[in-house]
Amino acid sequence: MDLIKYEKKDNIAKITLSRPKALNALNNEMLAEIREVFKGIKKDKDILAVIITGEGERSFVAGADISEMKDLDVKQGYRFGLFGSDIFKEIEGSKVPVMAVINGYALGGGLELALACDLRIASKDAVFGFPEVGLGIIPGYGGTQRLPRIIGISKAKKLLFTAERIDADQALEIGLIDLVVPKDELDNKAMELAKRIAFQAPVAVAAAKEAVDKGMDLKTDKAFALASKLFSRCFKTQDQKRAMAAFVKKEKFTKFENK
């Protein structure tokens, strides 16, 4: 891969988007590489958490590559948006939690990428926004759907309609991100959080993620039924048997086996 750096350590995968001269703007080549990485992650049973970040000091992802969009017609625009949207659905549908680690600009398609992740942590100098309406378009990779589900309809419309940029503290206040840390602590804090997730029972974490993600789109009675079904499945695992036995015996439990 030319535009992505990939590392795996201690059951944690780290994806670094690497177009620093273009502020890591998403182009079709990078999107295709992201898709291939997540196909590999899906097959790798050792991976328990994923981190996505951008290379360099200035930007997570400053948006989609405008040079690839400016001359599209209606049909080409539809295919362009669908291509990225489908890839972001794969990220959102990952069995393991995915965390966006935002080190600078998260604009347009970059913010859409962050919204497709389960968690978002950012440095204090991070900047967020959807500039699309100022360019004559709207977010094309699912941002108009995920944003209101995360921060509420009115706040989402304000960001979408005005192309306003907000800082990390404002993003935290409206629930757009989950944590703000000093820039020099960002990588360590992200890894600390990823390790904490990876330490838990993997089947249970996957079940919790599925219950939330799928339950959000169901009517209440069906959502509760789904949660009950996922809850019951956990009792098939050796992790549940061993962890609860250790708890009852007041013994320290140190390692889940994903079984």
- Provide the pLDDT confidence category of residue 257 given band limits of 50, 70 and 90: confident
- Tell me if 214 is assigned to some domain: yes
In a domain, 28, yes or no: yes
Note whether residue 253 is domain-resident: no
Residues 205 and 181 in one domain: no
Statement to judge: residues 102 and 117 lie in one domain = yes
Domain that holds residue 192: 4-198
Q: In a 10 Å sphere around its CB, with 0-12 CB exposed, 13-18 middle and 19+ buried, how is residue 177 labelled?
A: buried
Q: Look up the CATH number of the domain holding residue 53.
A: 3.90.226.10
51 and 99 in a single domain? The answer is yes
Measured in degrees and rounded to the nearest 5, phi and psi for residue 124 equal -60, -25
Q: Which of 90, 112, 173, 185 is catalytic?
A: 112
Q: Is 104 buried (19+), middle (13-18) or exposed (0-12) by CB count in 10 A?
A: buried
Which CATH number is 209's domain given? 1.10.12.10
Average pLDDT value for the chain = 96
The sheet with strand 179-181 has its strands ordered as 4-9, 12-17, 49-54, 98-102, 119-123, 179-181
Question: Average pLDDT, stretch 85-101?
Answer: 97
**Residue 259 placed within a domain:** no
Active site residue 185: no
Average pLDDT of span 61-66? 94
Query: What integer pLDDT is reported at residue 147 of this predicted model?
Result: 98
The reply to whether 179 falls in a domain is yes
pLDDT score of 143 more than 90: yes
Q: What is the pLDDT of residues 211-236, one digit of tens each?
A: 999 999 999 999 999 999 999 999 99
Per the residue annotation, which of 36, 92, 132, 210 is the catalytic one? 132
Q: Are residues 223 and 127 in the same domain?
A: no
Answer whether residue 141 is part of any domain.
yes
Are 128 and 238 in a shared domain? no
- The predicted model gives 5-33 an average pLDDT of 96
Say if residue 155 is in the same domain as residue 171: yes
Confidence of residue 208 (pLDDT cuts 50, 70, 90): very high
Domain assignment of residue 182, yes or no: yes
Q: What is the pLDDT of residue 259?
A: 67
What is this structure's pTM? 0.95
DSSP state letter for 20: G
Give yes or no for residue 20 having a pLDDT over 90.
yes
- State yes or no: pLDDT of 252 exceeds 90: no
Q: pLDDT value at position 10?
A: 87
Predicted local distance difference test score (pLDDT) of residue 197: 96
